[in-house]
Structure 1
């Protein structure tokens, strides 16, 4: 388990995007149709969604905001819950948009280029500078952490049906754990790996009866976001 306290936001994003890009480098057209951990999405649909998120981050890092900040790397996730109309619409939009790439290689390359550009922009940004995204204002560092978390959680989705594919980066997983503990309000009282914690806290893995007992009343708050 990595120590997120010693990892900068940019380090976490570079590691998260780098790990995701490395998995894509080994995937061809056939693998792009494999299912993922996201209901209804094949690999190519998920990659398009992650491309859109990297693009959003790139735009946000060049969109200064007057402030004050109304979200951070923890509270940003409070507005993202599974089972909403917005989530369903997003799934459909990604499927339709990804289908326009007749060659998966083009989508894979566009993701790699955009992710690299987002990391470059993150490294050049003032960590304390305020930026705007999705109707909220965050510091650049907090925005970058949310991008790393998004990529890390979706990396877990990406490799669900890709035997032998490497998992997310340790830095991305550690950053994810920190924000999940922030949402929970305390360090999670279950001895989960970072990867299992991320799956359980985002509704990808159901809680067992034993885990519910250890979590106590907090069990009913899961998923913390999704």
Structure 2
């Protein structure tokens, strides 16, 4: 097993630090599963916070992200590390050709499920398998995904961010659905602050920051003034 070595003279991370990515991923995936599990076919046609996607389209996208995580957790890499939990997102910008192609692919693929419960069941079992794999993986293991190498712990953090942001998207037209997890939202905030280069200088809730930082909510004139030159960096990823 290949592990990321701590710098010379530095003590290895504590057990709490090492298990934090696993616990955050469990919280995010379990919160999302609580939304998905009771959904019926009629619910699957509701709009989401993702442009052009109904609930079923977004759920298919989430299924593919679980699958990607499951594969990555079983794909040790020789290194060196070229991404971490923050810099991983530097490749993901909105309004690119790849993003547009991804939207179309998810819509077409989700439409191939005749019954929504087939897609729902596949998502839930794949998410559970990903959590099982994460629990059994050393967070220091180097893994490969999306053409990059990062630690398994940082991979788990990216999966947590993805699941949490899409949880907010998924419940846009489901007002009585369970809320996103607190650890997941905290992980999103940490990631956005890392991309911004400082803690955001606005009194935003975690949910508002998640939406504004990923382009789901446009900045108001007052928010743009408060951010100053950093306003041009928004959305930080999308």
Q: TM (normalized to structure 2)?
A: 0.92
1:99 aligned residue: 111
Displacement of 1:164 in angstroms is 1.1
| Bigger radius of gyration among the two | 2
- Taking the aligned partners of 1:150 and 1:98, their CA distance within structure 2 comes to 19
The Cα shift of 1:109 comes to 1.0
Offset at 1:25? 1.4
The match for 1:134 is: 146
Query: In structure 2, what is the equivalent of residue 32 of structure 1?
Result: 44
- The C-alpha deviation readout for 1:146-204, integer Å capped at 9, x for no partner, is 00000000001000011211221001000110011000000000010111000000000
Shift of 1:126: 1.1
The match for 1:153 is 165
For 1:114-167, what per-residue CA distance to the aligned partner results, in whole angstroms no more than 9, with x for missing partners? 111101111111111100001000000000000000000000100001121122
- The partner residue of 1:77 within 80, 84, 89 is 89
Q: 1:121 aligns with which of 111, 114, 133?
A: 133
SS for the counterpart of 1:137 is strand
What is the TM-score normalised by the length of structure 1? 0.96
Q: Distance in 1 between matches of 2:233 and 2:19?
A: 28
Distance in 1 (CA, whole Å) between partners of 2:18 and 2:177 is: 27
1:52 matched residue in structure 2: 64
Spell out structure 1 runs of 4+ moving beyond 4 A: none
Is contact 1:7–1:171 with CA below 8 Å preserved after alignment? no
Distance across 1 between alignment mates of 2:199 and 2:43 = 37
State the secondary structure of the residue aligned to 1:38. Answer: coil
Task: Report the Cα distance in structure 2 between the residues aligned to 1:80 and 1:7, rounded to whole angstroms.
Answer: 26
Matches for 1:145-184 after TM superposition, within 5 Å: 145-184=157-196
Query: For residues 160 and 6 of structure 1, what CA distance do their matches in structure 2 show?
Result: 33
Could you list the runs of 5+ residues in structure 1 that have no partner in the other structure? none
- How far off is 1:7 after superposition? 7.3
Residue 106 of structure 1: how far off its partner (Å): 1.1
Q: How far apart, CA to CA, are the structure 2 residues paired with 1:6 and 1:29?
A: 40
1:199 is the counterpart of 2:211: yes
Question: Residues of 2 paired with 1:12 and 1:109: CA distance?
Answer: 23
